[in-house]
Amino acid sequence: MNQFNTFDSELDCNLSQKKYPVRRYSQVCRNPFVKVGVSHKGDVSIGCDRGHYLHIGNLFENDFASIWNSDAAKNLRKKIWECDYSDCRFHTHFPTFVDKSKIEGYYQADGTVTKFPSIVKFDDDYSCNVACVTCRNKIRMMNKEDSERLDSYIDDYYLPILKDAKTVYMNGVGEYFASRHCLNLTQRIIEKYPQIKFHIHTNGILCDEENCKRIGIIDKLYNVSVSFHASTKETYDKIVKGGNFERVMKNLKWLSDQKKQGKIFLVEIIMAVSSINYKEMKAFMQLAKNLDIRARFWELGTGFSVDAPTDQDYEKYAVCLPGHPEYKKMVKLLQAPIFKSDNCLLDPLLESIRKGKAYNINNKLTLRRLIKYLLPYGLVRFIQNKKDAI
Ligand SMILES: C[S@@+](CC[C@H](N)C(=O)[O-])C[C@H]1O[C@@H](n2cnc3c(N)ncnc32)[C@H](O)[C@@H]1O
Ligand code: SF4
C-alpha cells in the first residue's frame, strides 16, 4: 500500500452506491465535511483536492454559516455519508477516506456540520512571476486597485470563516509568493489565528528560508507543493517561461531538509504531464527519491489556467489523451516499477492508464464499456423479471 497515496486503488471511476464495497461503509470521504474553496468573486465551493466542484453560495451575499449548511452542501454530504459517490469525479479527483467516527461528533443526519471547515483554500489572486505555457500566455500581476479590493475582504469575510480552521491552502490560481494580497492575508491570519498552519502551492522560485521567515510562515508550513514539471533545465525552460531552474532546485533541497527535520509534514514536486515533459517522468521520480520527497503527476487540463492553453496547444500537449500521437509511448513509460514507489502519487487518470484501464476521456460508448455496464444490468433485469413472474 502506498503510504502517501490517499486514493484507494480499488475504487474506480463510475463509483456508485451499488458498487461501493459494503465493508467500507465505516469510512467516508472527508472533503465535503471539512473543506471549502473560496474564489476572488467570493464563490464558495466544496468537493475534492484538485478543484471544488459544487458551488454552495457566495460569501459576499450570504453569511458563511448558511452557505456551509446550505441545502446543496447538506444534500451532497448526505449522499456521501451513505456511500453514494455518484456525483464524484473519481476519474480525475482524489477522495480522502477517513473513519466516520472522526466526523460523527459534528455531523448531523440532515447533512449539517456543526463546525466550520478545518481546511480552507483561497484561490483569489491570479498574479504570478512567471508564465507557464500550460497556464497563461504572459506574466500577469493583479493591479493595485484589485489587490486592495481583495485585501478589503480579509477582516469581514475571510477571517471569520477560519474560526475552526487548522490549515489554510494558497494559492490555486496564481503564485503565493508573488501575490501582495496572499502575503497580507497570511499576516492577518497569523495575527488572529497563530495556531493555523499553511499548505503552500508554489512554483518554488521564491520559496526559500529568507522569504518564509520574512512572511512569518517558517514554522507554520504543513504542506508545500512545488510545481516543477521537469528534471532538466532544458525542459523546465520550455514550460516555465521566466522561471529559474537552479533556484528552485536549491529551494527544494532546503524544503527537503526541513521535512527531514520534521518541520514540514509533506513536501512534493508536481508535474503536469504533457508532450513536453513526459519523457522525464522517470527522472522526475528519481529526483523526488533523491530528495526524499513525494512526486505527484497529473494530467493536463484546461480548467486551471488563466488564458492558456488554447485548443490547438491543448491538443498538442495533452499526451494523456488516447488520440495523442505519443500516448502509447507515455503509457509504456508509466509501466516502469518506479511509478509504484511509496513516494509516487499518480492522479487517478494516470493511475488507471498505468494499470491499463484508461478512462475514456471523450466518454464514448465503447464495446468494452457496453459489455461492462450493460450486460450485468441486463442480467439483473432478466433475473428480476423471472422472480416477478413466479
Ligand atoms: C495555477 S497553479 C498555481 C500555484 C502555483 N503558481 C504553481 O504553479 O504551483 C496550480 C497548479 O495548476 C497546475 N496547472 C497549471 N496549468 C495547468 C493545466 N493546464 N493543466 C493541469 N495543471 C495545470 C500548475 O502546474 C500547478 O501545479
Ligand atoms: S502554473 Fe503557477 S507558476 Fe505557472 S503560470 Fe500558472 S500560476 Fe504561475
- Predicted pLDDT of residue 308: 66
| CA 390 / ligand 1 centre spacing (Å) | 59
Q: Specify the pTM.
A: 0.86
Please, which pLDDT band fits residue 309 given cuts at 50, 70 and 90? confident
- Predicted pLDDT of residue 17: 35
- Predicted pLDDT of residue 90: 64
**Is 118:112 a contact under the CB 8 Å cutoff?**
no
Taking residues 84-92, report their average pLDDT: 71
Please, which pLDDT band fits residue 10 given cuts at 50, 70 and 90? very low
Pocket test residue of 52, 127, 134, 294 for ligand 1, highest count of atoms within 8 A of CB: 134
- Predicted pLDDT of residue 15: 37
For the ranges 94-108, 118-132, 375-389, the maximum mean pLDDT occurs at 118-132
Inform me whether the pLDDT recorded for 18 exceeds 50: no
- Which three cell numbers mark 95? 477522495
Q: Which of the ligands is closest to the CA of residue 121?
A: 1
Task: Round the CA-based radius of gyration of the chain to a whole number and report it.
Answer: 22
Q: Report the alpha-carbon distance of residue 126 to residue 94 in Å, rounded.
A: 24
Please, which pLDDT band fits residue 210 given cuts at 50, 70 and 90? very high
Q: Report the alpha-carbon distance of residue 87 to residue 373 in Å, rounded.
A: 18
**Is 54:45 a contact under the CB 8 Å cutoff?**
yes
Pocket lining: 130 vs ligand 2, CB cutoff 6 Å: yes
| CA 340 / ligand 1 centre spacing (Å) | 24
Q: Report the alpha-carbon distance of residue 363 to residue 351 in Å, rounded.
A: 18
Ligand 2 atom closest to residue 136's alpha carbon, by position in its atom list: 5
**Is 236:229 a contact under the CB 8 Å cutoff?**
yes
Taking residues 245-263, report their average pLDDT: 98
Ligand 2 atom closest to residue 131's alpha carbon, by position in its atom list: 5
Q: Report the alpha-carbon distance of residue 291 to residue 250 in Å, rounded.
A: 11
| CA 226 / ligand 1 centre spacing (Å) | 10
Residue ID of nearest Cα to ligand 1 atom 10: 172
Q: Report the alpha-carbon distance of residue 103 to residue 108 in Å, rounded.
A: 10
In this structure, of 40-54, 192-206, 291-305, 366-380, the range with the lowest mean pLDDT score is 366-380
In this structure, of 79-93, 110-124, 202-216, the range with the lowest mean pLDDT score is 79-93
